[in-house]
Structure formats: C-alpha cells, structure tokens
Amino acid sequence: MKLFHELSQDCSRLTTEKYSTSFYSAIKLLHKELRAPIFNIYGFVRFVDEIVDSFHDHDKSQLLLEFRNATYDAIKNKISLNPILNSFQLTVNEFRIDHQLIDAFFYSMEMDLEKRKYDKAGYEEYIYGSAEVVGLMCLTVFCNNKPLQDEQLKPYAKSLGAAFQKVNFLRDLRADFEKLNRVYFPGCDFRNFSESDKSAIEMEIQKDFDHALEGIQKLPIQARFGVYVAYKYYFSLFNKIKKAKPHKIMQQRIRVPDYSKIFILAKAGIRRQFNML
C-alpha cells in the first residue's frame, strides 16, 4: 500500500512539473514534509481545470460529474485507483481539509461549462471557488494543527490566490476570449480593450498582491520561502503585463523567461539569508 501511495503522489508531482514549471520550482522550496501534500492539491485542481478547458471533443459535463463523484468516493473510502485522486484524498484526510472548499472549487469549474460573461457578484464567486479556496487548502497544510494561525492567515491566502488567478486572466485574455468565449472581468469589452480598462484591473490586482505579501511574512517558516518565490514569479509576470499596451495583451501571451526566474530565486535567497523574509 505504501508503494501505491508513493506512486500516486509521484503522479501529482509530475503533473505539476508538466503543467507549471513556476509552481513546481516554488513548491520544491517548501520544507520537504510540505511538498507532497501541495503537489497533491495542485495535481487535483489541474486535472479538473483540464476537463473544462481542454476536452472539447468529449462531454465535459459528464466527465466533470464523474470526476466529482470519484473525488468524494476517494475521500470517503480513503483509496482510489485514480492516482491523482488517491494522492488528493491522502492530503484531504491527513490535514482535514474542509470539504466546503472542494465544493466551491467544483462549482466554479461548473460555471466554466456554461457561464460566459460575469457581473461583479459572479466574478467574485468564481474567483473564490477557482482560486481563493486553493490558497485556503494550501494554508491548511502549512498551518497543520494550528487552527488559530490558520484562521488569522485566511484573508491573506485568499488574496494571494485571487492575485494569481487575475494575473492568469490578464495573461490569457486572448485565449479565453477567442477560443473559449469567456469574459471574466466584468464590464470590459475585449473587442475594444482600453488602457483605462487595463489600469482598473491592474489596480485591483495590485491591492491583492499588497495584502498577500503581509500574510506571506506571517507564514510558518517551513512554507514562507517557497510561497514568497511563487509570489515573486507572479509579481514579475504582473509587472511585465503592466508595461504592455492593451493591444499587445490581446495579440500574444506574455511570460517570464527562465533566466528571469533564476534571478528572482537568487534575490529571494539573499533576502532569506539576511532574515528579510
């Protein structure tokens, strides 16, 4: 049984590495006891996201329903022959992750199957379920057996998850709009995406990042450096997006090159060495 659990967690780790080199490298900087549980969470959310974003030749609704049912069966039975779900249930059961967070995540993914444009309330609901709850799941792992600390840090975890998701939205504007017919930011006409539209969104994201940074500095030491590096990766991407004109965002996907990530990691390491984190 131990070998099967190890294999399952290896699948989640490999999924993270294949889909997000940034998150993979940041998770590797966590304390070794935290890495597998966070890989398990990421592998799970990545698989669900893939269902709604990529499986266009299949019945997405049915696949999502089956995966949802299989998720709760795995958690209840403490086993699944699907290695991604088996690794996820290990983390959910070990750290007693609130099932309401999982419910909210699946609900947002269901919204992606039908919802195309969002008002402010729908946008905030989607952000909570698709991103903030992921931050809260990770926080549960980081603050294991420290419920008071977990409760105090929840607002910051939500802000960090929201910032990451909103940066993804800005980066992927063209793909979401043209390929998936999705418009996440309320009140924006992406056929005429203006500088004022972009600035308003960026101010909202900056506020999320500023608030999240306060919380990162209060995280348990075992998690702080890895989360800070993930924050810096995304903040660097955000800065590149801010410098780009609206039409450029609609024409190409902006990214942070690998050499910049190495520089970010080096600077973060220096800050840690001098106790500046």
* CA dist., res. 269 & res. 154, Å (int): 26
pLDDT of residue 8: 98
Q: Which residues of the chain have pLDDT under 70?
A: none
* CA dist., res. 163 & res. 237, Å (int): 11
* CA dist., res. 48 & res. 163, Å (int): 20
pLDDT of residue 100: 98
Determine what percent of the chain falls in helix, strand and coil, rounding each to the nearest 5.
80, 0, 20
pLDDT of residue 134: 98
Tell me the domains of the chain and their CATH numbers: 2-273 (1.10.600.10)
- Report yes or no: 115 and 180 within 8 Å, Cβ to Cβ: no
Give me the DSSP letters along 80-132. Answer: -SSHHHHHHHHHHHHHT--HHHHHHHHHHHHHHHH--B--HHHHHHHHIIIII
